[in-house]
Amino acid sequence: MGSNLYLGLVHHPVYDKRKETVATAVTNFDIHDIARCGRTYGVEGFYVITPLESQIQLVERLIHHWVEGGGAAYNPTRKECLSLIRISRTIDEAAKEISERWKKKVTLVVTSASRHPKNIGVADFRQALEDLNNPFLMLFGTGWGVTEEVKDRCDYILEPIEGKGYNHLSVRSAVAVLLDRLLGDRTC
Amino acid sequence: MGSNLYLGLVHHPVYDKRKETVATAVTNFDIHDIARCGRTYGVEGFYVITPLESQIQLVERLIHHWVEGGGAAYNPTRKECLSLIRISRTIDEAAKEISERWKKKVTLVVTSASRHPKNIGVADFRQALEDLNNPFLMLFGTGWGVTEEVKDRCDYILEPIEGKGYNHLSVRSAVAVLLDRLLGDRTC
């Protein structure tokens, strides 16, 4: 399983600290950690979503270094996971690419750190993923999370990871926990 | 649960790429991500273990900034998690401090990315943690993992997170996944 699941790391449109809509900068550690997790759990692709030309070039340079450049020989395991990465300028562009590849509309699932009346549970999503004929794009917001407009147009909003009265995981940790809950060994 | 569990991030003794024993540099993202995870899952403390004076000063500066300095007002949630951090020069020093606080010998549990004949399962460790009268220190290696000597002297070696033929999670992701497996909601 996992081969019908794609990850999307959204740098725009997301909120900043004051709840204004911004485009965040790409974080090197996000790219590496999420690609490594994605490869570990067998996801099909990892979209880095940013409209900023400078950030697109940064990600392209990073991928080139590790997949074709000096990094590929230095650390072949990094090459293996970073080749999962695709770059897209918008959520729509990523969704369109997946839908065209599958000849079927991709289901958009957004994650969030807060509860929402439309939340679906992890178990429901895990079950949906078992239908390998349908592709899913799971979106993670950087900054202070994706905007309400993004949530409104997604098909599903996944329930948050509940902490013990504290709810401030990094996006890197949230990806790791959710991939393990969705695709990891539930018997251990 | 979790209040009898401590995390230890080991910077020495660990292996480098050539399996030589080294002291790695402290990584800012490790400290923040693991502290945020630790606070989310309710662990009792987070030991940053390094013998290097320069690295100790770096961590002290980081904690000072976020717990007492300008960062405390800028982001109070960061203050809340980074106050979990303790610094110790060796694994022994961390273990001794916990044992003295609990007036009971701490159980050392080491994590690893590879299988080991002495592995215990996550379910066994989760059950052990239910005895809140006993403290546990769970160690994570940086670099290419803790040395064999460390494994030999720990009480338990936790089974690795099994990927789909790929086994190269960042230490930040490994902490997130294992805390969720040990202390997170297993019903979802």
Of A39, A81, A188, the CB nearest to B181: A188
Which pLDDT belongs to residue B187? Answer: 81
B interface test, pick of A32, A36, A158, A187 with most B CB neighbours within 10 Å: A36
Q: Which chain A residues have a beta carbon less than 8 Å from that of B161?
A: 40, 180, 184
Mean pLDDT of A71-90: 94
pLDDT above 70: residue A11: yes
- Does the beta-carbon distance from A166 to B32 stay under 8 Å? no
Of A80, A164, A173, the CB nearest to B166: A80
Q: Decide if A104 touches B, using CB distance below 8 A.
A: no
- C-alpha to C-alpha distances, B169 to A101, A135, A137, A173, B84, nearest whole angstrom: 28, 24, 21, 11, 24
pLDDT above 70: residue B150: yes
Q: Which chain B residues have a beta carbon less than 8 Å from that of A29?
A: 29, 170, 172
Cβ atoms of B56 and B25 within 8 Å: the answer is no
Mean pLDDT of B22-32: 97
Q: Residue B92 carries which side chain, given as an amino acid letter?
A: D
* Winning range, highest mean pLDDT, from B11-15, B72-76, B165-169: B11-15
- Does the beta-carbon distance from B122 to A188 stay under 8 Å? yes
Which pLDDT belongs to residue A85? Answer: 97
Which pLDDT belongs to residue B15? Answer: 98
For A159, nearest residue in chain B (alpha carbons): B188
Which pLDDT belongs to residue A1? Answer: 66
- Does the beta-carbon distance from B42 to A164 stay under 8 Å? yes
For A77, nearest residue in chain B (alpha carbons): B168
pLDDT band at B164 (very low <50, low <70, confident <90, very high): confident
- Does the beta-carbon distance from A161 to B181 stay under 8 Å? no
Beta bridge partners of B96: none
Mean pLDDT of B56-65: 96
For A76, nearest residue in chain B (alpha carbons): B168
The pLDDT mean for chain B works out to: 96
Of B36, B159, B181, the CB nearest to A169: B36
Mean pLDDT of B119-133: 96
Residue for token pair 């081969």: A3
- Does the beta-carbon distance from B166 to A122 stay under 8 Å? no
- Beta-carbon neighbour count of residue A93 at 10 Å? 14
- Does the beta-carbon distance from B166 to A121 stay under 8 Å? no
For A174, nearest residue in chain B (alpha carbons): B176
Which pLDDT belongs to residue B185? Answer: 87
d(CA B76, CA B69): 11
d(CA A60, CA A63): 5
DSSP line for chain A: --TTEEEEEE-SSEE-TTS-EE-PPP-HHHHHHHHHHHHHHT-SEEEEE---HHHHHHHHHHHIIIIISHHHHH-HHHHHHHTTEEEESSHHHHHHHHHHHHTSPPEEEE--SS--TTEE-HHHHHHHHT-TTS-EEEEEE-TT-B-HHHHHHSSEEEPPPP-SS-----HHHHHHHHHHHHHS-TT-
- Does the beta-carbon distance from A180 to B180 stay under 8 Å? yes
Q: Decide if B40 touches A, using CB distance below 8 A.
A: yes
Share of chain B above pLDDT 70, in %: 99
Mean pLDDT of B79-94: 96
Of B37, B121, B170, the CB nearest to A32: B170
ipTM more than 0.90? yes
pLDDT above 90: residue A167: no
Which pLDDT belongs to residue A185? Answer: 87
Q: What is the DSSP letter of B160?
A: P
Mean pLDDT of A126-137: 96
- pTM greater than the 0.90 cutoff: yes
What pLDDT digit, counting tens, does each position of A13-72 carry?
A: 999 999 999 999 999 999 999 999 999 999 999 999 999 999 999 999 999 999 999 999
A interface test, pick of B18, B167, B171, B172 with most A CB neighbours within 10 Å: B172
d(CA A26, CA A6): 19
